[in-house]
Chain A
Amino acid sequence: MSRLSALHFFAAVARPPAALTVVFTILFAVGATLEAVNRGSSDWVLASIAAVQLFAASTGFTRHATRGYYDPVLIGRRRSHVALAHFAVSAAPGVLAWLGCGAAQAVAAGSADVPALRPCGWVTLLLVSAIPWAASVRTAPFLGGTLWLLLSIALVAAGKVLGPLGRLHVQPAWASEHPVRAFALGLAFPAAIPSFGWPPAVLFAFAATGAAAVAMGALGISRSELPLAEEGA
């Protein structure tokens, strides 16, 4: 008899809410239509997918695991494998929508060199999937995305984001001259990352941050105690 696949299990049990999947489907459809009508006009759709992914990937782990929902896949398994499967399933709807838009952009442009499929697109996808997922592993679902969005809104309201983004727009070399500020800017407003050019060092820092978030989330799951919530522990 075949072994229970953690991916298969989480795909059945821990999918992001159906409403978010519907939103992703609509965004993909809008993006594909825009690209068919007017090439290069779907960048804002990518930003929207990134914003929705902040919530979709924040599925939460411990809250469900301490209710016993994940027992069949946790018993006798390496927790790190379980964690990666959970991350993959949590991120999947947003990743599929992103790839769909990227494919539409690539078909319209006749080239794979489009925002969604450039390195800046991949790191955006990694950041907006990994950080909210890791933040919600031991907290409530949606918490990671909510906190990040509130931080972004607060920074925009405080005038910390739009000015630097404007400078980056008119003077692409600004990111090379101020890599630390550019990195902080990208983290504060990740949905804007695909729209700008970033030096390799900053892109690497984004990717390393995303990978570190996945590792932290996996570590959180590996070290979790999972008593049943009703035990009051």
Chain B
Amino acid sequence: MKEVVRAVGLSKRYGRRSVLGNVDLSLREAEIVGLIGANGAGKTTLLRILLGLVRPTTGVVEWRGGNCAPPPDRAGHFGGAHTLPPDVAARRWARLLSRGREICDDRRPVRALSRGSRQLLGLSAELSRSEPDAFLFDEPWEGLDPDGSRWLSQTLRRRRENGCAFLVSSHRLHDLAGLCDRYAFLLEGRVVMQAADQISGQTVRGDDLLAAFDVIRYAP
């Protein structure tokens, strides 16, 4: 499978605070990579560097074609319910992102929606787009009810079959388990990548991910 995006030697410092250090990561066509890390490990920063919204202190990002940012409209991103503009009507946001398709008929402003509804609105608007070949999602299961969680997992699988690549950061290991082809463990600013079959010979479960996370975390 061809690489959609590759990051080599990424580091990021804010003043004296180091957020990322020497991170290598790749995302290939038709795969889902789960990004796992503790709070403050730099997952959001890493996603925003890959998207060209934050400049790395060192290192390079290469999207398909050699650009340091994704080609226009070829990458989708959703950073969570809090990143939706609160004063825009839900219906208008959905139409805007889905380029005019009617995927939501709620005329209330985003701020009037519950957290779960906002999360679902942002995800469904992004995933209704057909042109991106890569999606970078930050905590996409956050706030979703069981039906929403199932819909999201099924949609990711379906889009993967069509060749889409996903980089998905999440704390919810049981949602990532069994879904991802590879896992990227972000620990103290560095990334350790493992294929699913390295973690478990069977279908990966949440406990397997937790065990793998602990092994990497406490490895000498």
Chain A residues with a Cβ under 8 A of chain B: 1-4, 8-9, 12-13, 64, 67-69, 71-72, 74-77, 225-228, 230-233
Instruction: Give the interface size class of chain B.
Output: 20 to 34
By a CB distance below 8 angstroms, the chain A residues around B52 are: 74-76
Report yes or no: A76 in contact with B79, Cβ–Cβ below 8 A: no
From 58 to 102 in chain B, residues with beta carbon under 8 angstroms from any chain A beta carbon are 69-75, 77, 79-80, 82-85, 88, 92-93, 96-97, 99-100
Chain B residues with a Cβ under 8 A of chain A: 14, 19, 44-45, 48, 51-55, 69-75, 77, 79-80, 82-85, 88, 92-93, 96-97, 99-100, 129-131
Report yes or no: A228 in contact with B44, Cβ–Cβ below 8 A: yes
By a CB distance below 8 angstroms, the chain B residues around A75 are: 51-53, 69-70, 75, 77
Report yes or no: B130 in contact with A67, Cβ–Cβ below 8 A: no
CA gap between A228 and B44 in the complex, in Å: 8
Shortest Cβ distance from residue A19 to the other chain B in the assembled complex, whole angstroms: 13
Interface centre among A12, A72, A232, A233 (most CB of B within 10 A): A72
CA gap between A74 and B88 in the complex, in Å: 18
Given contacts A8-B96, A75-B70, whether A228 and B75 have CB atoms under 8 Å apart is no
CA gap between A60 and B55 in the complex, in Å: 21
Shortest Cβ distance from residue A22 to the other chain B in the assembled complex, whole angstroms: 16
- The closest CB in chain B to the CB of A1 belongs to B99
Shortest Cβ distance from residue B6 to the other chain A in the assembled complex, whole angstroms: 16
CA gap between A77 and B70 in the complex, in Å: 9
CA gap between A185 and B71 in the complex, in Å: 47
Report yes or no: A67 in contact with B75, Cβ–Cβ below 8 A: no
By a CB distance below 8 angstroms, the chain B residues around A71 are: 51, 53, 77, 79, 83
By a CB distance below 8 angstroms, the chain B residues around A69 are: 83-85
CA gap between A13 and B89 in the complex, in Å: 10
Report yes or no: A225 in contact with B55, Cβ–Cβ below 8 A: yes
CA gap between A77 and B72 in the complex, in Å: 6
Report yes or no: B96 in contact with A9, Cβ–Cβ below 8 A: yes
By a CB distance below 8 angstroms, the chain B residues around A2 are: 99-100
Shortest Cβ distance from residue B56 to the other chain A in the assembled complex, whole angstroms: 11
